[in-house]
Amino acid sequence: MMTHTKINDFVVKFANTNGTGSASANTMFAKAIMRMGVPVSAKNIFPSNIQGAPTWYEVRINERDFLARRAGKCDIVVAMNAQTYSLDVSDVIDNGYFLYDSSKPLSDTLTSQNIHYLGIPIADICRKEFNNPRQRQLFKNVIYLGALAALLGIEFNVIKTLISEQFKTKEKLISANIYALELGHQYAINHFSCPLDYQIQRRDLINNRIMVNGNTACALGAIYGGATVVGWYPITPSTSVVDAFANYCQRLRVDPASGKKNYAIVQAEDELAAIGIAIGGGFNGARAFTATSGPGISLMAEFLGLAYFAEIPVVLMNIQRAGPSTGMPTRTQQSDILACAYASHGDTKHILLFPDSPHECFELSAMAFDLADRLQTPVIIMSDLDLGMNDHLTAPMQWNDKHKYDHGKILSMRELDSLLSFGRYRDVDGDGICYRTIAGTHPTKGAFFTRGTSRNQDAVYSEKSSDYVANMQRLERKFDSAKSYLPKPQVISNDTPSDVALIYFGTTSQAITEAVYLLKAQGINVNLMRIRAFPFQSQVATFINNHAKVFVIEQNRDAQMRTLLMSELNLAPDNLLSIVNYDGLSIPAQAIVDGVVTHCNQQQEVS
Amino acid sequence: MSFAKSTFHHKGLPKNELGLTYRDYEGALSTLCAGCGHDSISAAIVHACHELSIEPHTIVKMSGIGCSSKAPNYFLNNAHGFNTVHGRMPSVTTGANMANQHLTYLAMSGDGDSASIGLGQFAHVVRRQLNMVYMVANNGVYGLTKGQLAATSDKGVKNKAGEMSLFNDIDLCCMALQLGASFVARCFSGDKRQLVPILKAAISHQGFAFIDIISPCVTFNNHPDSTRSYDYVQQHVTAGAITDYVPIKEEITSVAGDGEYDDICLHDGSVLRIKKLDQNYDASNRLTAMIDIEEHKKRGEILTGLLYVDPTARSFHDINETSQTPLNQLQQDVLCPGERVLASINKSLR
């Protein structure tokens, strides 16, 4: 077989069994590469199951920072689940490697492929070296990690340091893990020609980037944004947002003198109650949020309508997964766009934010609390499973101590004193955003009745048509005012003029740099716009109108963002083309390239 | 007929410690049917809050949807109110309470709101031991949708249209007891003498206080086939005890040796004095309270009064060990860990 050396540009996939403790070893593998200064990304591909089902972890190493999921087969598969051997063998690229546990011989049917086999008797080694059954299981993962270090040229000390850091409070575990690591490392050196033709070589391409998942970053954003009240109900893939929030609160939000908590987290009975709690907190002047996923959004729709109409600040973090219904709970999608933009009955619209990295998960989550207070309405963070649950290489989270929370138009006791009269829904400033008061502020001024029913501008129940219409028009005005507070779209124009453009948002961003590179190689130059918020600012319409072909790239079947753009910007269908990917896995650059090229070819054939 | 409420205050109206008359505790003019039991509840709330000398603006009025949930409009004009969505008042009250534990949360709900669409939220707010007064104005009928049977309607009774309730009723007092409420009472809206002291005690109680208030619907459930009509309730009501509320600053006279009285000291030092009509009635026993309710029901009677109280109960914030400063008043310097901490978090992620 021909071999050619691949440096810092390949994909390694680990096939494991759910619940066998492989996650920490696999994460260390990715992190070791990062610490060698080489860009890396990792995707968990896991089932909706606790234990026993197949799970994969796909690591892409690419020193050009192409870190989206690579389409097609993998270069190296570390196959630790006999159940999926045949699938895993077929997933190896020609001339690639299949590393497996050779304690049991591989079936003949699996050995006819044009790939290299690396058998390590891992179970036998563990049986010989460790007495404890749990250790025998766990150290299998550390042994293949040690072997990979030798096979790929990963600096052994880097992994040793990672192990020491991971078990820094459990000294005994450090030496045992390092022993297992050495067993694998030595076996590889003794039995194979190390390193292979796939190699990691030290670079200096990481700069100050960090590796973190989006849910942790959202949780930290909520801490920095000043959230104190959380109502939530566990649902994959959003659960870790509140888990992380709780963990950081224990560290950062407990008063050292009194030991009292400067936060309250209520695990509610369901999603309806979860957002109800957050809305109650927002109504009463606290910064409050909930986190959920698609099925939770369906249940929360009623309350979102109330918060919109009664004008109550609340933040909702929606970590999207594949729908509809229960869908694929552990697979990713961007398919809640329309459900969130228009959640609830009646003419309802909500503010949406689309983070594309953990860095932005932090930034937009913190910002969301200012926006919700300023605009007195729900603000929904549109993350997804890929962003939320996978570790990503990202710019460090940033906070400026000079930034002061924007609590919006809240009247204090003194301000109420100076007013002749107060009306909760009077548009005093003409921006559609009214002044509010918090319960308990003033003995005789400022109290009002919040309700989801129609009312006049003084918050008095009213079914008068004129009151209703004036209120609805003001809410529309407020939605328009919101645009000036929202993050602007990011426009990246090409050096050369182009009539082709890509619009994308959220995690689809990961594939863009690579797609642009691949398209350029085929002679297609594209301009780019990344949407960061809904409602859409005027730049979005301008950008679309300035290009002959605009592809909207998204991860759902029905091109929901395209629909939203057409509907909100009053665009004809012909103006926008669609590239969608909805198989539950994150979109690879090749899918974008194929979509653009196919359309361009069709156009040529027609002309 | 005028729909504007008179602003005239009689100069001789008695003033409380804050110098306020009961009219300072009133709300908007009621739009409920004339004779609605819910208006009697509103009046009792006005009196209870006035007599307790609570500053009206330190109360938050919460409700769901239905006739009962409209009622908070009709008391305490200087308090914030929130008419939420059907059956979901408990969660919103939970959030509001999380934001500021030092306000008084008076919640009005109805039989549909709490025993049907909101049964789940009702159950869980009891479990959470939220410090609030949860009143159900229970008329056994859906008023706003014109007369459908409610889940609290007794099995076998008929609504105005003649439709019979075929299924067992839900007794919210029994549910509240079973779920751990630390204050459970049942009252009749027509008996202000009983309702006002119980309301006062419920407001003083630091924990979850539940009051099921039989509140007849004059329009849809005041007919001979109803067990929630004025006539039926007046004829079948049995008081388990007469409750007096003795505020903290009033002298409590000794009742030693008199087996008819129980004095229960609440968290704030106020006292609940219970005069037992039934010598065996023990308001500190959760289990016997449930049995008593059921036994009276078997006889077609409605047991009223303070059914159970645990004056030592701990509420959510005690259990959660929440900061004494209301969470909605914590400032950015306390809440935001700042750049330096973030730099160290970033460092730990490299």
- Has residue A1 got a pLDDT over 60? no
B342/A397 CB distance under 8 A? yes
CA A266, A268, A274, A276 torsion-angle sign? negative
Which of A210, A253, A258, A266 to substitute to test the interface with B, most B CBs within 10 Å?
A266
Nearest by CB to residue B334, choosing from A212, A262, A278, is A262
A231/B95 CB distance under 8 A? yes
Which of A277, A390, A417 to substitute to test the interface with B, most B CBs within 10 Å?
A277
Read off the pLDDT of each residue in A109-119 and give the average, rounded to a whole number. Answer: 90
Name the residue in chain B with its Cα closest to that of A450: B82
Q: Is there a contact between B143 and B217 (Cβ–Cβ < 8 Å)?
A: yes
Q: Is there a contact between B286 and B177 (Cβ–Cβ < 8 Å)?
A: yes
DSSP string, A370-433: HHHHHHTSEEEEEEEHHHHHSEEEEPPP---TT------SB--HHHHHH-S---TT--TTSSSP
Q: Which residues in chain A touch residue B79, judged by CB atoms under 8 angstroms apart?
A: 439, 447
Nearest by CB to residue B335, choosing from A262, A280, A282, is A262
DSSP A162: H
Read off the pLDDT of each residue in A565-591 and give the average, rounded to a whole number. Answer: 95
Q: Which residues in chain B touch residue A270, judged by CB atoms under 8 angstroms apart?
A: 120
Which of B323, B325, B341 to substitute to test the interface with A, most A CBs within 10 Å?
B323
What percent of chain A is modeled with pLDDT above 90? 91
Alpha helices in chain B (DSSP H): 37-52, 67-70, 89-99, 111-115, 119-127, 172-179, 192-204, 230-236, 286-298, 316-320, 332-335, 338-348
A319 — phi, psi (to 5°)? Answer: -95, 100
Nearest by CB to residue A269, choosing from B97, B124, B336, is B124
Name the residue in chain B with its Cα closest to that of A208: B350
What are the tokens at A394? 């990202």
Instruction: Report d(CA B43, CA B23) in Å as an integer.
Output: 10
pLDDT score for B3: 63
pLDDT score for A607: 65
What pLDDT, in 10s, does the model give residues B227-253? 999 999 999 988 887 888 988 878 777
A262/B323 CB distance under 8 A? yes
Collapsing DSSP to helix, strand or coil, B48 comes out as: helix
Average pLDDT, chain A: 96
B115 — phi, psi (to 5°)? Answer: -95, -15
DSSP string, B148-196: EE-TTSPTT-B-TT-PBP-SPPP-HHHHHHHHT-SEEEEEETT-HHHHH
What pLDDT, in 10s, does the model give residues A388-411? 999 999 999 999 999 999 999 999
Nearest by CB to residue A444, choosing from B78, B85, B330, is B78
B83/A449 CB distance under 8 A? yes
Q: Which residues in chain A touch residue B57, judged by CB atoms under 8 angstroms apart?
A: 439-444, 447
Question: B177-180 contacts: CB < 8 A, separation 24 or more?
Answer: B177/B286, B177/B289, B177/B290, B177/B307, B177/B308, B178/B290, B179/B123, B179/B126, B179/B127, B180/B126, B180/B127, B180/B129, B180/B208
A442/B337 CB distance under 8 A? no
A229/B95 CB distance under 8 A? yes
Instruction: Report d(CA A250, CA A245) in Å as an integer.
Output: 9
A443/B335 CB distance under 8 A? no
Q: Which residues in chain B touch residue A208, judged by CB atoms under 8 angstroms apart?
A: 346, 350
Q: Which residues in chain A touch residue B55, judged by CB atoms under 8 angstroms apart?
A: 443
Query: Side chain identity at A542, as an amino acid letter?
Result: T
Nearest by CB to residue B95, choosing from A226, A280, A451, is A280
Locus of tokens 């008023």:
B143
Shortest distance, CA A400 to any CA of chain B (angstroms): 6
Residues 6+ apart with CB under 8 A from A412: A441
pLDDT score for A392: 98
pLDDT score for B2: 45
What pLDDT, in 10s, does the model give residues A32-60? 999 999 999 999 998 888 888 999 999 99
- Has residue A347 got a pLDDT over 50? yes
Locus of tokens 């509840």:
B41
Shortest distance, CA A101 to any CA of chain B (angstroms): 31
A551 — phi, psi (to 5°)? Answer: -95, 130
Q: Is there a contact between A19 and A54 (Cβ–Cβ < 8 Å)?
A: no
Nearest by CB to residue B96, choosing from A263, A281, A399, is A281
Q: Is there a contact between A133 and A207 (Cβ–Cβ < 8 Å)?
A: no
The ipTM estimated for the assembled molecules is 0.96
Residues 6+ apart with CB under 8 A from A1: A95, A114, A116
What are the tokens at B234? 């007046």
B74 — phi, psi (to 5°)? Answer: -105, 15
Instruction: Report d(CA A278, CA A553) in Å as an integer.
Output: 33
Instruction: Report d(CA A251, CA B39) in Å as an integer.
Output: 50
A443/B80 CB distance under 8 A? no
A269/B121 CB distance under 8 A? yes
What pLDDT, in 10s, does the model give residues A508-564? 999 999 999 999 999 999 999 999 999 999 999 999 999 999 999 999 999 999 999
Q: Which residues in chain B touch residue A440, judged by CB atoms under 8 angstroms apart?
A: 57-58, 60, 80, 100, 102-103
Read off the pLDDT of each residue in A293-321 and give the average, rounded to a whole number. Answer: 98
B120/A273 CB distance under 8 A? yes
Nearest by CB to residue B96, choosing from A209, A224, A284, is A284
Residues 6+ apart with CB under 8 A from B159: B141, B147, B148, B149, B153, B165, B220, B221, B225, B226
Extract the residue ranges of chain B whose pLDDT is less than 70. Answer: 1-3, 254-260
Among B23, B122, B21, smallest CA distance to A269 is for B122
Name the residue in chain B with its Cα closest to that of A220: B342
Among A27, A240, A509, A241, smallest CA distance to B349 is for A27
